[in-house]
A = this chain, B = another copy of it.
Amino acid sequence: MLKFKTVVEYDGTNYHGWQFQPNAVTIQGEIEKALEKLFHTRIPVYGAGRTDSGVHAHGQVMHIVVSWNHPSENLKRALNTLLPDDICIKDVSEVRDDFHARHSAISKTYRYQIFNHRLRSPLKRLYSWQVSQKLDLDELQAASNILLGVHDFATFGTATSGTPSTTREIFEAKWHDGKGSPNLTFTISGSGFLRFMVRSLVGTLVRVGSCKISVQDFGAILESRDRSKSGPAAPSQGLSLVSVEYPK
């Protein structure tokens, strides 16, 4: 039996999130179905983390333990022929026995896309959040700088099962615009993320960017550790899990 680390890209539009559910179509469920077809037995899939309903991934990571005597490239190809168009295995590589997609991860990077325009865009609707009010990029960035370092993020999410702490470290929180284009991108890397954390952060940051609250207010909201103080969560289709990082 060999252990493989697997990188997965998916379009979350038509899925009830990553995590297997008996009565709903999920990414994990589809991958386990493909694995069962290939290996004629149930192969459990261990993801680096869950993504919510409608959230995408450029680089979700999972591990599997299987009996496979061919090159890992062939395993990738075999799985991709069995998977639907909106899920693709980008990379398969053999890893040591002690590798665990979730426990070994040292950081994760998410990206949130905003289409900052008064009109909705049919061609961007599946992968971004249309925000009508003009957002101030400097204000967005100033508030995001407060997130850097170690904080208790209880305002912005709920603890995931197994880890009651709501403290996480943020390494990067950066806004980009496409040279004056209405496409704003928020990239955030951290040691880990609470459930709903990125979307709640973005929902609250947009209140700063549209001058409804100040950067100082945002800092106070973070420090309050009061879930009810968070702005409404930004919608799922703007979010993508870009990558999961592991020690070299």
Listed in ascending order, the chain A residues whose CB lies under 8 Å from chain B are: 9-11, 56, 58, 80, 85-88, 90, 119-123, 125-127, 240
User: Which among B58, B120, B125 is the interface contact of A123 at CB below 8 angstroms?
Assistant: B58
- Give every chain B residue within 8 A of A11 (Cβ-Cβ): 122-123, 125
Main secondary structure of the interface of A (DSSP, over half): loop
**B-side contacts of A58, CB under 8 Å:** 123
**Assembled-state Cα–Cα distance A10/B11 (Å):** 20
A87 (CB) vs chain B CBs: closest residue: B122
B86 touches A121 (CB 8 A): no
Q: Determine which of B10, B90, B127, B240 lies in contact with A119 in the assembled complex, contact meaning CB atoms within 8 Å.
A: B90
Q: How many angstroms between the C-alpha atoms of A240 and B58 in the bound complex?
A: 24
Q: How far is the CA of A122 from the CA of B56 in the complex (A)?
A: 9
Query: Which residues of chain B are within 8 angstroms of A86 by Cβ–Cβ distance?
Result: 122, 125
For the complex, give the distance between the alpha carbons of A154 and B210 in Å: 54
B residues in contact with A240, CB < 8 Å: 123
Beyond A11-B122, A85-B120, 10 additional pairs, beta carbon < 8 A:
A10-B123, A11-B123, A11-B125, A80-B119, A80-B120, A86-B125, A87-B122, A88-B119, A88-B120, A88-B121
Give the distance in Å from the alpha carbon of A178 to the alpha carbon of B56 in the complex.
22
* A94→B174 CA distance, assembly (Å): 42
Residue among B56, B88, B121, B126 making CB contact with A126, cutoff 8 Å = B126
Nearest CB of B to A80, in Å: 7
With a cutoff of 8 Å between Cβ atoms, the chain B residues found around residue A119 in the complex are 80, 88, 90
CA distance A127 to B10 in the complex (A): 15
Residues in B with CB closer than 8 Å to A125 are 11, 85-86
C-alpha gap A10/B122 in the complex (Å): 5
A199 CB to closest chain B CB, in angstroms?
18
Name the B residues within 8 Å of A80 (CB-CB): 119-120
Specify the chain B residue showing the minimal Cβ separation from A91.
B119
Residues of B close to A88: CB separation below 8 A: 119-122
